Amino acid sequence: MKRRTIAIISAAALSTAGLTTGLIVWLSQPSYEDIVKGCQKALAAQSKAGGEGKPSACKDVKKDDYGALVLSNAFDNLPQKDQDILDYYDDGSANDSIGGDTP
């Protein structure tokens, strides 16, 4: 074989190996959904322990999503009686979303 053919084959093999390695590394990274679930678990554990502040598991969670997780965690930690008062939805139509039967 000529040197040029060997060089082309070697370059193709190295490129393929590099792309395969890059793909494996990229696929092994946690998804954003996994990061959010980890943050949610960390917030729950922190609440049970009486801790405060933003857990390190939440550092990659978007600000709005983190705020929603904090509110959800606070709601989950309310006594059941207080949760019942807040547990409703109102979509603006008379479909028993608030207060039972309405004409």
- Position 52 scores a pLDDT of 83
- Position 93 scores a pLDDT of 58
- Phi, psi at 55, each rounded to 5°: -65, 150
Residue with tokens 């393929």: 16
- Position 88 scores a pLDDT of 55
- Position 95 scores a pLDDT of 56
- Position 82 scores a pLDDT of 58
Q: Would you tell me how many other CB atoms lie within 10 Å of the CB of residue 39? A: 23
- Position 76 scores a pLDDT of 79
pLDDT in tens, the chain (103 residues): 688 888 888 888 889 988 888 888 888 888 899 999 999 999 999 988 888 888 988 999 999 999 999 988 888 777 766 555 555 555 555 555 555 544 4
Tokens of 73: 């965690």
